[in-house]
Chains A and B, each alone.
Chain A
Amino acid sequence: MVTVNLDSPPGRETLRGISPRGTAAVSNGKAFSQLTIWMLAVRDQRDRAAFSALFDHLAPRLKGFVIRSGASSALAEEIVQDVMLTIWRKASQFDPHRAQASAWIYQIARNRHIDIVRKEHRPVPDELGEDPGLEPDASQILGLEQEAEQLKLAIQQLQPDQKEMIEKAYLGELTHQEISSRTGLPLGTVKSRIRLGLGRLRKELKGLR
């Protein structure tokens, strides 16, 4: 398994966009997730071996995820193929400071699913760029990765019916009225708390510099 340790970054190419100062700020032995490392290798080196590993890890999960939304096996595979190719082609847009690899891939998967089924092009927001005054650094990446870990734990601890409701919401099977009227969205609380905490942490770090 490839691991990237922030104490000994393997090179600027792999960790593009991470300032040396940011690297130092979090040099406490924490490493990026495997998914992020593969994505960075695909993005920066166009690394086919990394893409192949990413495929093996992701494609079967993606297929399972899409099937949960009621798609047939054939449609699910069409979507998975499309999503995997989109990941390869749009890898340059992946920025771990802004979104975890899994979050970025989730949005691609939903967008491609809708584009394929509805034959409509999904409207996507303009990029706003970094919050002025908040320099991108590795602590942001690690903060997002921690968020992802906590979310995964939270999901694993859900009751089966709660998990089903959450899945329905994020697989596009609930209207926004249903989402707001169901109490079955405990993730709502978890995620915002983490996200707000992250923003505050960043501001505090900035104040220390």
Chain B
Amino acid sequence: MPAITHHIPDAMIAAYAAGSLPHAFAMVVASHLSYCRDCQAALGAHQSAGGALLETAQSEELSPGMKASVMAMLDEPAMPEPVYDARGIYPGPVMQALKGGAPRWRTLGMGVKQNILYEGDGGSARLLYIPAGQAVPDHSHNGLELTLVLQGSFSDETGRFGVGDVEIGDEDLEHTPVADAGDPCICLAATDAPLRFNALMPRLLQPLFRI
């Protein structure tokens, strides 16, 4: 188990339990929880609070026949749900987004690669591959961005981020992350801002891409 020093804020864990986080962020939170016992304990506490609210909720009358129909369905075979286990450096929630397959990297230039995992109304999530020693150029944030390290590490003005650590960036964070020496740094990054670049971006503009 890696020594984790950068965690998910408590309010975000509560929002994850309640299901109000956008899907892309929920992916990062669930992935961090896959490494982090402390945050799992925090999630457990929020689930307990939710459970206590459920138990003290005002009852509402059910339609007649509803119970009988549920009881009659107990023996029906359930639709099997695909289960995605962690594989290699990728925790279960990332494997789910990859539908059990391997990442399909697209080159962004300067050795940096990405694989978009999800794009929707609430934001987007992708895997990033950054070679050792490579700086992510012109790095600024538009909206909120969560970056979880899956392999290697990166460092910036705010500290060092190793496997399992999450960096939370917003408009106020100005920094220059550089992948540390050693294995290439692979991250799961989610943002609620629109995607600013993709593999079709002209080569000339690639050094200017923003993450």
> A-side interface residues toward B, CB under 8 Å?
35, 48, 51-52, 55-56, 59-65, 67-68, 73, 76-77, 80-81, 84-85, 88-89, 98-107, 109-111, 113-114, 118, 120-126, 128, 131, 144, 147-148, 151-152, 154-156, 166-167, 169-177, 179-180, 185, 187-188, 191-192, 194-195, 199
**CB of B204 closer than 8 Å to a CB of A:** no
Majority DSSP secondary structure for residues of B touching A: helix
Q: How far is the CA of A60 from the CA of B92 in the complex (A)?
A: 34
Residues of A within 8 A of B78 (CB): 85, 89
Residues of A within 8 A of B45 (CB): 191-192, 194-195
Is the pair B60, A110 in contact by a Cβ cutoff of 8 Å?
Answer: no
What are 28 of the A-B contact pairs (CB < 8 Å)? A51-B71, A55-B70, A60-B62, A61-B59, A63-B62, A85-B74, A102-B55, A107-B47, A107-B50, A118-B23, A123-B93, A123-B96, A124-B30, A124-B92, A126-B34, A126-B91, A128-B34, A148-B48, A151-B49, A151-B51, A152-B55, A170-B50, A171-B18, A172-B18, A187-B49, A191-B46, A191-B49, A195-B42
Q: What interface size band does chain B fall in?
A: 35 or more
Residues of B within 8 A of A191 (CB): 45-46, 48-49
If A48-B74, A89-B78, A176-B15 touch, does A77 touch B9 (CB 8 Å cutoff)?
Answer: no
Closest to A33 in B: B55
Partner of B71, one of A52, A73, A98: A52
Residues of A within 8 A of B33 (CB): 125-126
**CB of B101 closer than 8 Å to a CB of A:** no
The distance from the CB of B128 to the nearest CB of chain A, in whole angstroms, is: 18
Is the pair B55, A64 in contact by a Cβ cutoff of 8 Å?
Answer: no
Closest to A111 in B: B19
Is the pair B58, A64 in contact by a Cβ cutoff of 8 Å?
Answer: yes
Is the pair B51, A104 in contact by a Cβ cutoff of 8 Å?
Answer: yes
**CB of B201 closer than 8 Å to a CB of A:** no
Closest to A61 in B: B57
The distance from the CB of B3 to the nearest CB of chain A, in whole angstroms, is: 15
Partner of A170, one of B10, B53, B66: B53
Partner of A152, one of B15, B21, B56, B58: B56
Partner of A122, one of B26, B34, B91: B26
If A80-B62, A179-B14 touch, does A172 touch B19 (CB 8 Å cutoff)?
Answer: yes
Is the pair B59, A60 in contact by a Cβ cutoff of 8 Å?
Answer: yes
Residues of A within 8 A of B10 (CB): 180, 188, 192
Partner of B15, one of A35, A84, A179: A179
Is the pair B27, A123 in contact by a Cβ cutoff of 8 Å?
Answer: yes
